């Protein structure tokens, strides 16, 4: 069984949200995004869902089928420093 993978991101502009969702849509599996300031999660492949979480929020991205290091590296521009 493959475990889930979580990463932290921050999206500061409309353009970053668009680029983020475009990148996430290339992932072959389920992805949810949630904010610690909200009590719900959204489909990471839904641009409206990600927008509903708000800009300038720390978001957690959950990959349910795990995510390869190479795919995660494509998200580097959006990731928070560890």
How does pLDDT run across 2-28, given as a tens digit for each residue? Answer: 688 999 999 999 999 999 999 999 999
Query: Is the confidence at residue 59, as pLDDT, over 90?
Result: yes
Residue 40, pLDDT score: 85
Task: Answer yes or no: pTM beyond 0.75.
Answer: yes
Which candidate, 13, 26, 18, 3, places its Cα nearest to that of 72?
Answer: 26
The DSSP output letter for 22 is: H
**Residue ranges with strand state E in 1-82:** 5-10, 31-35, 41-43, 58-63
Backbone angles phi, psi at 60, to 5 degrees: -110, 130
């Amino acid at each position: 069984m493959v475990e889930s993978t979580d990463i932290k991101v921050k999206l500061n502009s409309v353009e970053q949200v668009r680029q983020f969702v475009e990148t996430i849509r290339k992932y072959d599996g389920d992805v949810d995004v949630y904010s610690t300031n909200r009590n719900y999660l959204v489909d990471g492949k839904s641009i409206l869902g990600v927008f509903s979480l708000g800009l300038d929020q720390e978001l957690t991205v959950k990959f349910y089928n795990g995510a390869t290091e190479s795919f995660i590296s494509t998200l580097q521009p959006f990731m928070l420093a560890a």
